[in-house]
């Protein structure tokens, strides 16, 4: 019993490092799936490089399976902040007719834990919290 306890103590740091790495990999895989669905709504291009990047995915979600707020979250992770009207224009490009300025405002209100909206010189700016 004592030997097992001592071995467990020695492995504790490695075990926690493993869990941290697994969690980080899972977060990155979720982001890649959302980005792939945004960038390639119809079909992923036949590319060895892209294939390698997404090889760990079981199946990327279809663009229509993504909520507008998820697409907006990924966009804001890249640009930092943007006027709500620009965010609506970007969403329109990636999601077709599903996006409007009111949709962006609604996403911000429905997900206050994710988005922050403020006015700068009379323009509404949206960013991640």
Three-class DSSP labels, 6-61: HHHHHHHHHHHHHHHHHHHHHHHHHHHHHHHHHHCCCCCCCCHHHHHHHCCCCCCC
Question: Is the model's pLDDT at 39 over the cut of 80?
Answer: no
pLDDT in tens, 70-107: 888 988 988 889 999 999 988 887 766 667 888 899 99
Q: For domain 67-128, which CATH number applies: 3.40.1390.10, 1.10.3720.10, 1.10.10.10, 3.40.50.10470?
A: 1.10.10.10
pTM of the model: 0.54
């Amino acid at each position: 019993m004592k030997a097992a306890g001592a071995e467990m103590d020695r492995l504790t740091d490695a075990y926690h490092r493993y869990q941290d790495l697994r969690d980080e990999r899972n977060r990155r895989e979720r982001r890649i799936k959302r980005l792939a669905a945004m960038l390639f709504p119809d079909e992923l291009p036949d590319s060895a490089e892209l294939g390698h990047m997404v090889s760990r995915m079981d199946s990327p979600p279809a663009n229509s399976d993504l909520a507008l707020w998820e697409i907006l979250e990924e966009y804001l992770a890249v640009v930092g902040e943007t006027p709500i009207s620009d965010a609506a224009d970007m969403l329109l490009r990636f999601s077709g007719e599903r996006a409007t300025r009111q949709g962006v405002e609604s996403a911000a209100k429905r997900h206050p834990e994710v988005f922050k909206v403020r006015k700068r010189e009379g323009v509404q700016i949206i960013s991640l919290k």
